[in-house]
Chains A and B, each alone.
Chain A
Amino acid sequence: KQEVTQIPAALSVPEGENLVLNCSFTDSAIYNLQWFRQDPGKGLTSLLLIQSSQREQTSGRLNASLDKSSGRSTLYIAASQPGDSATYLCAVRNTNAGKSTFGDGTTLTVKP
Chain B
Amino acid sequence: EAQVTQNPRYLITVTGKKLTVTCSQNMNHEYMSWYRQDPGLGLRQIYYSMNVEVTDKGDVPEGYKVSRKEKRNFPLILESPSPNQTSLYFCASSLSGFSGANVLTFGAGSRLTVL
Contacts and interface: CB of A to CB of B under 8 A. Distances in A.
B24 interface: no
Interface in A60-83: none
Contacts of B50: 97-98
Contact of B43 (A41, A46, A52, A102): A102
A42 B90 CA distance: 10
A9 to B, nearest CB: 11
Given A42-B108, A46-B105, A99-B48, A31 B100 contact: yes
A23 interface: no
A104 B42 contact: yes
Contacts of A31: 98-100
B33 A98 contact: yes
Interface string B24-46: 00000001010100001011110
Contacts of B90: 43-44
Contacts of B92: 44
Q: Is the interface of B mostly helix, strand, loop or mixed?
A: strand
B104 interface: yes
A102 B31 contact: no
A27 B109 CA distance: 28
A26 B16 CA distance: 38
A98 B100 contact: no
Contacts of A46: 103-106
Contacts of B35: 102
Contacts of A103: 42
A45 to B, nearest CB: 8
A34 interface: yes
Interface of A: 30-32, 34, 36, 41-46, 49, 51-53, 89, 91, 93, 97-105
Interface of B: 31, 33, 35, 40, 42-45, 48-50, 56, 58-59, 88, 90, 92, 97-109, 111
